[in-house]
Each structure stands twice: as C-alpha cells, then as structure tokens.
Amino acid sequence: MGRVLNSTDQAWRDDLLLRLRLLDVPGARIGEVLAEVESHVAETGERPREAFGTPKEYAGQVAAALGVTPVGPWAQVRSGLSWRDLCLAVVCGLSGYAFATALWALGAGEPTTVGLPTWLVALTAALVLGGCALRFVLQARHSPDADPVVDPRDGADMVPFGGRQVALLVGLPLLMLVGMVAGGLLTR
C-alpha cells in the first residue's frame, strides 16, 4: 500500500528542492525530480531517504546527470550581485536602523540622535523601506530569470508562495517594530 509524504518526508523534499536550486538545476527538471520522488513514495511506501539517500547526495546525482557544474555558494552570490544591489542593500539597512531607532525614541519620548523630529525620521525611513520592499516584489515578479518549479503531472506550481510565508514575512517585522516602541516606553 502506498503512502503520502509526512512532515519528515516533506522536509526531505524541501531540502532537495533547495539543494537543486543551489546547483542551478532548471526549474522544469526540479519539478520532474520532485514528482518522481512523490510518485515513488506513494507507490512503494518507501521513505525518500531510504530510496534516494540524503537530499545532498541525490541533488548531486541529478546535477551530474544533467552535466551541471556545481558552483560554490559564494561564487553564486558574487555573480548575482551588482553595485546597484549593494547600494540598495545599504539604503535598506540604514533605513531599517533609522526606523527602529526612531520608533524606540518615539516610545521613550526622546529626540532622535540626528536632532530631527522623531516622527519625521520614522516617516521618512518607513517610506524608504516601503519603496525598497516594492522594488523587491516587482523585481521578483517580473524577473527574466524566473524559473518556476512546475509539476509535470498537472502544471501546478510546486513552490507556492502563500499565506504562511506572507504572515511570517509581514508578522515578524511588525512584531519587532512593536517591540522597539515597547522597549522605548519601558525606558521612560
């Protein structure tokens, strides 16, 4: 009798997906590999680790079969970054710092370190961070390098970006920002 992926098997699958992405395996082939793994598990009842080994080993086998030359992670990062990306990262980092310190100062009822009105620093930093976030979203959606992982069985996206990811990406920073205001309030 076949079985479906449980949480441990799902973690194995997710690790395989990440390792294949890091090895620059095309999205269409990743979809085929994941579908093969899921079908094998469903048909045989075997666990993915038993059938295919570790995700690292299996990803290496798939990449080797495709003739993909493994590239180190730092080489991938360096090749994918431009000066514009670096400047944007610095602007985002400085804006995040300014926003956090302004929220702390608002909570504490103190002026900011630069002598500007606290509300002005907070508002400016929030607007800059919003612009950075908008740029990241637009770049991700309209990237010519987008290579989706599509299930060959039904054409569905095998790596959907849904509610849990959005909740984490929005909720965690909001929680931290509320913590900055609360921390400032506690220093009064």
Q: Are 106 and 118 in contact (CB under 8 A)?
A: yes
Q: What is the pLDDT of residue 94?
A: 94
Q: Rounded CA gap, 153 and 156, in Å?
A: 8
Q: Which residue has the tokens 């920002």?
A: 177
Which neighbouring-strand residues pair with 157? Answer: 150
Residue ranges of domains in the chain: 7-66, 90-186
Per-residue pLDDT of 111-134, as tens digits, reads 877 788 998 999 999 999 989 888
pLDDT along the chain (188 residues), means of 10: 65 90 87 92 91 92 84 63 84 92 90 84 93 81 72 82 74 87 88
Share of the chain above pLDDT 70, in %: 85
Indicate the average pLDDT of the chain. 84
pLDDT, one tens digit per residue, over 86-114 is 898 899 999 999 999 999 998 988 887 77
Q: Residue 150, SS3?
A: strand
